[in-house]
């Protein structure tokens, strides 16, 4: 059979034909066989279908020759942590992150929490998973099956009997939450944290238990931080909508809580909490681009001369911060597999993308949604400045448009039209990811989506908001013209 749920860097698909328990079984078995995995750690987010998919995945891993350590309900970064901490052959998180409720997916890493993408083994896992005989898969799954009533999978009650997994003696549950929490706090000096009031919005996703564990650990160290919890309890029906603070319509609850409680900062996460989004003390959302600069400065203060990785969509502010802090700026193609690979090559202490993915050398070069806000809380404590002041100076120095998406009939023709107009006037062209053209006092990056007829535009200037507005409008008009 052909599997359409495999993407360039992970696995995502609509529930039913694209992704179901039989497909999860195939993927688990193929993963174990391809990696010749001895031990694999698994976890799942809060979605109702994540637990049954994880159990079917575990059955496949066991039949592929691996022992399975199940962490239970987790965020993706807990799998990254556990894969390295427990010295596993690999790790798999069942999650659809911020995708619609009728989707789910899997994120896979190999030993050392190294990513698996199309050119580093994911294509081979796909081919192997597709090769299994359908009847053989059905018979194999039946060995783990419980009586199933129609519609139970959608309600979170799937095919695989957990007791049948335990009976193999190759499946067990374990928690690494205490060790994970200790590692998170290792990025800061808790003794430096001043009394702060923080709004934390888990979005009814997977972040709540990690927040609680960090809160308990901080209070145990005498840190006087008050956590105001919004949508804290995990709920796979997502009564307040899919958690995705990148969308403006998903920000109002965090903003209102910050203002209403006069908090020092607001923090919101996506469903599997590998990304966090920050709000200043006025309730204003801070673009991820400027958080990259803040974190770069924080790391370079402790690691002078280190390399910092950033993506090419907008980078003037980040580059300026790195150079002024005595660091080494290194540009990488957008995407977690590219960033992680370049970080290893450069031994970079930190890497950041404007999309709110932040990567850390001491976290196996993986991304985390908990480390960033801890570092910013420490920065607030040490600087004595409100968050709005810390970022407003940088926003004024390097204003940016934010990423603007446009649906187009022909992405290649649109790119060609933009190039014909602007390249003759440019001082420099960069092809790291899409097209980047630089002029005396402004620049832009234009990329096409790999999966849909969409063009993504980012514009930035040097301390000139009027020029930013003018050039953004100008480019969008040309993009929208036929």
> Rounded CA gap, 266 and 390, in Å?
15
> Rounded CA gap, 31 and 124, in Å?
9
**Alpha helices per DSSP H over 405-446:** 411-422
Contacts 24+ apart (CB under 8 A), 433-438: 433/311, 433/312, 433/313, 433/333, 433/334, 434/312, 434/313, 436/312
27 and 60 in contact (C-beta within 8 Å)?
Answer: yes
Q: What is the DSSP string of 187-229?
A: TS-GGGPPPEEEEEE-TTSS-HHHHHHHHHHHHHTT--EEEEE
> Rounded CA gap, 270 and 356, in Å?
10
97 assigned to active site = yes
- Angle between helix axes 371-383 and 288-302 (nearest 10 degrees) is 70
3-state SS, one letter per residue, for 289-338 = HHHHHHHHHHHHHHCCCCEEEECCCCCHHHHHHHHHCCCEEEECCCCHHH
- 130 three-class SS: helix
Considering 97, 332, 381, 401, which one is annotated as catalytic?
A: 97
279 and 268 in contact (C-beta within 8 Å)?
Answer: yes
Identify the CA nearest to 254 among candidates 244, 88, 295, 185: 244
Encoded tokens for 14 = 């609509």
Q: Which helix (H) or strand (E) holds 446?
A: strand 442-448
Q: Which helix (H) or strand (E) holds 44?
A: strand 39-44
Between the alpha carbon of residue 453 and those of residues 25, 313, 398, 407, the distances in Å are 32, 19, 29, 6
> Rounded CA gap, 354 and 293, in Å?
10
Q: Which helix (H) or strand (E) holds 367?
A: strand 366-367
Query: For 146, which DSSP code?
Result: -
- 185 three-class SS: helix
Which residues are identified as catalytic? 97
């Amino acid at each position: 059979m052909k599997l359409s749920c495999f993407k360039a860097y992970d696995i995502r698909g609509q529930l039913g034909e694209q992704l179901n328990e039989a497909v999860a079984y195939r993927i688990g078995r193929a993963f174990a066989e391809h990696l010749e995995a001895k031990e694999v750690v698994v976890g799942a987010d809060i979605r109702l279908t994540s637990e049954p998919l994880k159990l079917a995945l575990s059955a496949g891993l066991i039949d592929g020759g691996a022992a399975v350590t199940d962490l239970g309900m987790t965020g993706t970064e807990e799998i990254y942590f556990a894969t390295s901490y427990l010295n596993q052959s690999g790790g798999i998180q069942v999650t659809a992150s911020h995708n619609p409720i009728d989707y789910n997916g899997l994120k896979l890493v190999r030993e050392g929490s190294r990513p698996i993408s199309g050119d580093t083994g994911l294509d081979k896992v796909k081919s192997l998973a597709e090769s299994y005989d359908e009847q053989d898969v059905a018979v194999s799954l039946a060995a783990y099956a419980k009586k199933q009533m129609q519609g139970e999978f959608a309600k979170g009650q799937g095919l695989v009997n957990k007791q049948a997994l335990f009976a193999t003696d190759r499946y067990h549950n374990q928690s690494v939450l205490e060790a994970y929490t200790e590692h998170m706090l290792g990025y800061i000096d808790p003794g430096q944290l001043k009394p702060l009031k923080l709004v934390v919005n888990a979005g009814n996703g997977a972040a709540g238990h990690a927040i609680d564990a960090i809160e308990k650990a901080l209070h145990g160290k005498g840190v006087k931080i008050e956590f105001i919890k919004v949508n804290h309890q995990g709920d796979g029906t997502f009564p307040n909508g899919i958690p995705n603070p990148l969308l403006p319509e998903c920000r109002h609850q965090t903003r209102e809580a910050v203002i209403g409680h006069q908090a020092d900062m607001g923090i919101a996460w996506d469903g599997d909490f590998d990304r966090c989004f920050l709000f200043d003390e006025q309730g204003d959302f801070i673009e991820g681009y400027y958080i990259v600069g803040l974190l770069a400065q924080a790391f370079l203060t402790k690691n002078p001369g280190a390399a910092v990785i950033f993506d090419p969509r907008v980078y003037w502010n980040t580059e300026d911060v790195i150079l002024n802090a005595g660091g080494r700026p290194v540009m990488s193609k957008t995407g977690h597999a590219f960033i992680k690979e370049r970080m290893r090559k450069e031994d970079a202490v930190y890497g950041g993308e404007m999309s709110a993915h932040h990567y850390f050398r001491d976290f196996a070069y993986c991304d985390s949604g908990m480390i960033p806000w801890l570092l910013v809380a420490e920065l607030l404590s040490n600087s004595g400045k409100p968050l709005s002041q810390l970022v407003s100076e940088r926003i004024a120095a390097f204003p940016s448009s934010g990423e603007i998406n446009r649906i187009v009939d022909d992405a290649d023709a649109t790119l060609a039209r933009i190039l014909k107009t602007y390249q003759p006037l440019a001082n420099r062209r960069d092809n790291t990811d899409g097209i980047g053209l630089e002029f005396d006092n402004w620049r832009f990056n234009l990329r096409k989506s790999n999966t849909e007829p969409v063009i993504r535009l980012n514009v930035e200037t040097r301390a000139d908001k009027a020029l930013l507005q003018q050039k953004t409008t100008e480019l969008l008009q040309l993009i929208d013209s036929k």
